[in-house]
Amino acid sequence: MPNLFESHPGHGLTRELIEVLFPMCEQASAGAIAVDKHACISWINSRYASLLGLADTHGVIGRPIRSVIPHSRMPEVLESGQPLLLDIMEYQTQQLVVTRLPFFDEQGQISGAVAFVLFDDLQPLTPLVSKYRRLHQDLLAAKRALAKTGRGTRYHLGDFIGASAAALEAKRRARLAAARDIPVLLLGETGTGKEVLAQSVHTLSARSGGPFVGVNLAAIPENLLEAEFFGVAPGAFTGADKRMRKGKFQHAQGGTLFLDEVGDMPLGLQAKLLRALQEREIEPLGSNQVVPVDVRVIAATSRDLDAMMAEGRFRSDLYYRLNVLEIKIPPLRERRADIGILCEFLLEDICNGQERTEITDAAVALLSQHDWPGNVRELHNVLERAFTMSESAEVLDTDTIRRVLPEPTLAPERPAESQPEADHAARDSSNGDGSDIRPLAAVLARAEADAIRAALARCGNNRTRAARLLGISRSVFYDKLARLS
Ligand SMILES: Nc1ncnc2c1ncn2[C@@H]1O[C@H](COP(=O)(O)OP(=O)(O)OP(=O)(O)O)[C@@H](O)[C@H]1O
């Protein structure tokens, strides 16, 4: 019996109980693994190591479990404190039936979790597995449909991928936020996962049964914002609807209101939002009656709110009301260590049920040299293009990545002998007749993406100014940003 629990005598699922059960479960299972409370591997048996194709058990000790088993749900078990008694986990081409159990210290705090692989051959379970797959697909489809109505969530905390200290801290704070019904302010550049975290907080919170309503303040014309927020009373103005038109606050009743790009909120509306948050009531447009509201607000921005307050463009009283708990998400270029694990996860999403595509270590290293102004969203788009253009469905290599990686931030050329793959890629990117002619659509898309990135960089990520600089409306800019490639 390995000494997993040395410093954690406990109760709940007690050390004594686990000690009795462990040898039996370990023997009976096709593999066993344990993690500490930070979801880092503290022990793995040789059977599991060989199932995972690992050379030995030592190399993975201390590593975050998701960096070894990308789909592991051990972090969820640690977050929730609940066992997952029966789960089907995908690992490369294998599907494994797994049981996961948390264990606690004597203060009742989670100090780690163990997992046992019950079956590594799912053949006898084929009917069950097919049913599971069908239900899983149905669930995904239902979640997508619900998210389109703007009332549901697609993400939970396990979807926020990253093992860097900064990513783990963001997740830790998200868990804290979920446990308390307080306003949260998410700070981070575009594409860093602010919405993923906002939805995760909602999903983990006591309000998860209520609606999650998102509103992007930068994408709504200023003259419509107030009606969008607070609704419109029947017959409020000429041509207004005879019925009450509900605003986002009313739609979010009992749930969470996600204010994306709160830094783009006009000052007049800031005052009204502050009042709504303080009084917990709103006044629909054209009405003299107040409506009580029960919503938790999660706000997000990529703007520098301190600077905006200093310039008088953001109310400090609103800032302090929103910023009860702050979660900072650093840009991807400041946590390049997350790129490998993100690639694994994003490729899974991109392959969407088709045969899995792997990415070579050299290709990840190449991706790590880029500055990622569009952060994880841009990484997703680059991988998607690489996947589409890849000749081999199984592996993305540096040749493919080099073809799709935006040019301005490519690493400086290194001596030829140190990068044979790169030279090979450079030769291959021509048409073979010495010309570099590419389809016009691709050239235009690249030029557009470069212009958007340059404008964002010039304006310190201020999207309103970047849109103005490019001579397009904010909503068109947003649309293009979302498809940034
Ligand atoms: N840490 C992460 N792990 C997995 N996916 C992520 C992560 N961060 C972002 N993404 C993905 O990147 C895309 C953009 O994420 P999201 O919309 O949450 O970013 P955002 O910070 O809210 O961006 P914006 O400010 O432009 O609205 C989504 O497809 C999301 O799934």
ipTM: 0.98
Our mutation pick for probing the ligand 1 site, out of 66, 376, 475, counting the most ligand atoms within 8 A of Cβ, is: 376
331 lines ligand 1 (CB under 6 A): no
Which residue's CA is the closest to the ligand 1 atom numbered 15? 193
> 426 and 287 in one domain?
no
Instruction: State yes or no: pLDDT of 205 exceeds 80.
Output: yes
Residue 151 belongs to a domain: no
Here the CATH number for the domain that contains residue 398 is 1.10.8.60
Asked if 381 contacts 484 with a C-beta cutoff of 8 angstroms, the reply is: yes
**Last residue within a domain, chosen from 96, 122, 148:** 122
Distance 383 CA to ligand 1 centre (A): 14
Same domain, 319 and 341: no
Q: Do both 315 and 343 map to the same domain?
A: no
Any long-range contacts for 420-425 (C-beta under 8 Å, 24+ apart)?
421/362, 421/397, 422/398, 424/399, 425/398, 425/399
**Nearest CA, atom 28, ligand 1:** 377
Mean pLDDT of 46-68: 87
pLDDT for 94: 67
The pLDDT > 90 percentage for the chain reads: 34
What are the pLDDT digits (tens) for 114-157? 999 887 666 666 677 667 667 766 776 776 666 555 567 788 88
Report the pLDDT averaged over residues 39-55.
88
Torsion angle, alpha carbons of 16, 19, 20, 22, to 10: 150
Task: Report the pLDDT value the prediction gives residue 243, as an integer from 0 to 100.
Answer: 73
What is the structure's pLDDT at 392?
66
- Co-location of 418 and 448 in the same domain: yes
468 Cβ neighbours under 8 A, 6+ residues apart: none
Please report the atom of ligand 1 found closest to the CA of residue 216. 27
In a domain, 33, yes or no: yes
Any domain includes 137 = no
| 257 and 317 in a common domain | yes
- Cα–Cα–Cα angle for 56, 57, 61, nearest 5°? 135
Q: Which of 292, 315, 330 is the last residue of a domain?
A: 330
**Domain-located, residue 55:** yes
Which of the listed ranges 240-249, 328-337, 411-420 does the model predict with the highest average pLDDT?
Answer: 328-337
Total domains in the chain come to: 3
The residue segments making up the domain with residue 79 are: 15-122
- Probe residue for ligand 1, chosen from 71, 169, 196 as the CB with the greatest number of ligand atoms within 8 Å: 196
CA-to-CA separations, 46 to 55, 59, 89, 278, in angstroms, rounded: 9, 12, 19, 58
Are 316 and 413 in a shared domain?
no
Please, which pLDDT band fits residue 433 given cuts at 50, 70 and 90? very low
For residue 444, pLDDT beyond 80: no
* Max avg pLDDT among 31-35, 233-237, 323-327: 323-327
Query: 99 with 206, same domain?
Result: no
Least Cα distance to 246 among 258, 232, 234, 226 occurs for 232
358-367 exposure pattern, b = at least 16 Cβ within 10 A, e = fewer: ebbeebbebb
pLDDT at 429 > cutoff 60: no
pLDDT score of 11 more than 60: no
At 200 the pLDDT is: 94
User: What region does 162 belong to: left with phi over 0, alpha with psi -120 to 50, or beta?
Assistant: left
Residue 7 lies in a domain: no
Determine if ligand 1 sits within 6 Å of the CB of residue 196. yes
**Tens of pLDDT, residues 254-264:** 999 999 999 99
Q: Which of 219-223, 282-286, 315-319 has the highest mean predicted lDDT (pLDDT)?
A: 315-319
Task: Give residue 150's region: left, alpha or beta (phi > 0; psi -120 to 50).
Answer: left
pLDDT recorded at residue 353: 63
Give me the mean pLDDT over the 18-38 stretch. 83
Q: What mean pLDDT comes out for the span 274-302? A: 91
Question: How much distance in Å is there from the Cα of 86 to the middle of ligand 1?
Answer: 30
Q: What is the pLDDT of residue 12?
A: 53
Do 280 and 164 sit in the same domain of this protein?
yes
Distance CA 51, CA 33 (A): 12
Residue 202 vs residues 162, 213, 297: alpha-carbon distances, Å? 20, 10, 10
Least confident of 43-57, 317-331, 450-464: 450-464
C-alpha of residue 195 to centroid of ligand 1, in Å:
6
Q: What is the C-alpha separation between 173 and 167, in angstroms, rounded? A: 10
6 within a domain of the structure (yes/no): no
Task: Establish if 289 belongs to a structural domain.
Answer: yes
Enter the tokens of residue 85: 């008694």
Q: 203 and 347 share a domain? A: no
How, if at all, do strands 358-359 and 395-396 pair?
parallel
Place of tokens 């029960």: 294
pLDDT at 219 over 90: no
- Tokens (6 digits) for 100: 């996961």
Angle between helices 440-458 and 474-482 (to 10 degrees): 120
Q: Which atom of ligand 1 is nearest to the CA of 186?
A: 21
Most confident of 23-37, 182-196, 403-417: 182-196
